[in-house]
Amino acid sequence: MKSWPEALRDGVATGAVASVLSTVVLALRGRRESGSTYAPTNAISHWLWGERAAHQNRPSARYTLPGYLIHHASSMLWATLYEKWFGRLARRAPPAQVLGAAAAVSALACFVDYQLTPQRLHPGFERRLSGPSLWLVYGAFGLGLALPHLLRGRR
């Protein structure tokens, strides 16, 4: 198991990949389902601005920026846990194990997001996306956790 400083250091890079990849899926699914690439990310800022954030379709410093920053910070948290729990294993494991570990952490993140946190602290993008799209978002997040290890293993 990695030390916390190692996990935090590696979690920064892994979290960035997971954040960007899941945000791309948020944008693509948002455009398809609500007509706005920004709506799901804006909805995340409901932590700060309440229900009004869930109805914002345009990019803005008020909704989009904090929405993305909250999403990115959450991605860093989960990536650090992934690196702590599975980082050493992922260095030498076959791709299926790396993907399985990443899927487990992504599933745990989803469970925590929707079952253990109060409604006020849910991600918010569920207000703008369908259930199948949420699966895609969390799937992309899991792939983002695994991708740095999968690419490193090919070098």
Q: Which of 4, 1, 22, 11 is nearest to 113 (CA)?
A: 22
What are the CB-based long-range contacts (under 8 Å, 24+) for 62-70?
A: 63/38, 64/38, 67/41, 67/42, 67/43, 67/124, 68/23, 68/41, 68/44, 70/44, 70/45
Q: Whole-angstrom distance between the N-terminal and C-terminal Cα of the chain?
A: 23
Q: pLDDT grade, residue 155 (50/70/90)? A: very low
Q: pLDDT grade, residue 91 (50/70/90)? A: confident
How large a percentage of the chain has pLDDT more than 70?
98
